[in-house]
Structure 1
Amino acid sequence: MKNLFKIALFAAGTFMVSPGFAQTHKDSTLGGKISKTTKKIGHKTSEIAVKGAAAVADKKYAGKVGPNGETIYIDKNSHYFYVDKKGHRVYLKKSQLVDKPAQ
Structure 2
Amino acid sequence: MKKFIGISILVLLAGFSEVNAQSTASKVGTDVKDGAVKVGNKTAEVASNGKSAVIDKVYKDMEGPNGETIYIDKHSKYYWIDKKGHKVSIAKNKLIAKK
* Range into which the TM-score falls when normalised by the shorter chain: 0.7 to 0.9
1:81 to 56, 69, 79: 79
Q: Which residues of structure 1 form unaligned runs of 5+?
A: 1-26
C-alpha deviation, 1:59, in angstroms: 0.1
Find runs of 4+ consecutive structure 1 residues off by over 4 angstroms. none
Aligned partner of 1:98 in structure 2 is 96
1:29 to 24, 27, 47: 27
Rounded Cα–Cα distance in structure 2 between residues aligned with 1:57 and 1:44: 20
Rounded Cα–Cα distance in structure 2 between residues aligned with 1:55 and 1:31: 36
Question: Normalising to structure 1: TM-score of the pair?
Answer: 0.70
Aligned partner of 2:17 in structure 1 is none
Matched AA of 1:62 = K
Matched AA of 2:88 = V
Aligned partner of 1:48 in structure 2 is 46
Matched AA of 1:70 = E
Q: What is the DSSP-based 3-state SS (H/G/I as helix, E as strand, rest coil) of the residue aligned with 2:67? A: coil
C-alpha deviation, 1:28, in angstroms: 1.5
Matched AA of 2:41 = H
Q: Which has the larger radius of gyration?
A: 2
Question: Normalising to structure 2: TM-score of the pair?
Answer: 0.73
C-alpha deviation, 1:73, in angstroms: 0.3
Identity %: 48
C-alpha deviation, 1:79, in angstroms: 0.4
Q: What is the DSSP-based 3-state SS (H/G/I as helix, E as strand, rest coil) of the residue aligned with 1:28? A: helix
Q: Deviations over 1:26-77 (max 9, x none)?
A: x821111011000000000000000000000000001100010010000011
Aligned partner of 1:3 in structure 2 is none
Q: Which residues of structure 2 form unaligned runs of 5+?
A: 1-24
Structure in which a larger fraction of residues adopt helix: 2
Aligned-pair Cα RMSD in Å: 1.1
